[in-house]
A and B are shown apart, each in its own frame.
Chain A
Amino acid sequence: MRLKLVPQNTSFDFFSRWKLWLGISGLMMVIAFTSFLLQGLNFGIDFRGGTTIRTQSAVEIDVGTYRDAIAPLGLGDVTITEIFDPTFGPDENVAMIRIQAQADAEAVEAATITAVEEALKTVIPDIQFVSVESVGPKVSGELIQTAIIAVALAIGAVLVYIWLRFEWQFALGAVAALVHDVILTIGIFSELQIRFDLAIIAALLTIVGYSLNDTVVVFDRVRENLRKYKKKDLKEVLNISINETLSRTVMTSVTTLLALISLYVLGGDVIRGFVFAMIWGVIVGTYSSVFVASTILLWLGVKRDWSKPSNNAGNQFANVDA
């Protein structure tokens, strides 16, 4: 007996409530953006500069003790969080200490790190510093810049590729879906205040890649069906195409999610934020390729006759909903 997540022949109407879906997406984007404006992202040291020290000790962690030990050093904003993870053994008590970048230092401050380590050692003799990372403000500023450029470049490159392979309407639809995914991902990071570091940028770009992958498969089918059903209107063709690829869309999302969830649960806390971003991205990306990309395509309309060169090439309004 075969496992079938999606029945053989489906004929859902994905556009009967297209305004509602676009509305929901729009609202979510507004919420994400507001959250981003109000709370901002919980930037990791990669982007903000400063030092993080990961400690491990057999002694139960009391954040107060840590705080009291470090407080006399007068380092400004110090965040101490205890980290729990199912993969830790009984005597693995892990804490993460984050120290803000000290005023106007361009380089990292080795002295600060040593001072904190010494202070903690006197309180908790068996403490180990399993990782110490320190980024100077100069580099962190550049990292933000590079990250923004990378995401923008990726989206731009994709826009061009899809434009070349399809039509500009497809490219706009795909890119709208990408922007949607990126904004929602940034939004959830700001809403839940999950640490946003360099790896999350990698996750963002992967989401861009994945969401696109999904969108392109649907669009590829749309292109094919546009040639096949010359008389049907665009909405119908889009519906047929999405239904035909639905089984594949769900299958791929499920296999990818299976893999990601196992990594989320078992992969340790170091990459959990990264994997979370990707899980979220796969869900949002799957949704957006159907409800955002295709809806926008419907809205923009496409050239229907693929065999003849268009008289109206270059006139973007000539073919709307032909």
Chain B
Amino acid sequence: MAFVTLHNVTYQYPLTQSPALQEINLKINEGEFLAVVGPNGAGKSTLCYSLAGFVPHFFKGELTGEIAVDGKKSSEATLDEWVMNVGLAFQNPFNQISGAKFTVFEELAFGLENIGVPREEMKVRVEEAMALTGIRELADRSPYSLSGGQQQRVALTSILVMKPKLLVLDEPTSQMDPIGTREVFSVVRKMAEEGMTVVMVEHKVEWIANFADRVMALKDGRMLLEGKPNEVLTSDMLAENGFGISRYTSTAREAKKRGLWKKENLPVTLDEAVEGFAK
């Protein structure tokens, strides 16, 4: 059985005219890395909130259908139980800093204090998590004195340290440089190899093509496409529906029309493009 199941999920925020998610059906296996793409207002963040239990437990509104993680239904659990299994990090890192702690080390321990992890284990886990995301040297800094990219790494680490079974990330690299982005994708890939299930909303399609197992394309709250990264990200449907697509894909698409691209499949990354044009 799939680790995460969404069955006919439709959700509408209070005081809005149309649903943010409509009839979403999705299965994710344990240890799978699923990337979610879509234009603004497609329902990506709402999907993240739904997986993390904030829909329907935090945002009111009407949810129909069923969301299950690890055999448990979100409608039957309380939010504080749910967050023990599902971790959420979202886009704006500044608002994810608790504000209750004065150093990064304390900030990372905040979640562990809340769920009652013993002191010695807490220190070990924080050290491990910092080593994983490469923020060891920030340990004694104030979380507020960091740059956006550094804060984003702290936000990600503060969730990783909780060791969730399902990790939900909503644009976790939006304020990062290419090096930071690479590191985040590598860490997430590594966590997936170790059995953590990952759902990640991201615009950087070249990175998705390199690292994710599967891609889901959302538009207007509906699932438009779903499948292997290279198939979904090079689909004509994405280009026609206003999705952000790789410049290599659009270049090769034009080249194909003029007979300059000989291969069947279009590229997403630079390497694929170089290889294809060299033929």
Query: Bound pair: A and B?
Result: no
Task: Show the binding face of A for B, using Cβ within 8 Å.
Answer: none
Task: Show the binding face of B for A, using Cβ within 8 Å.
Answer: none
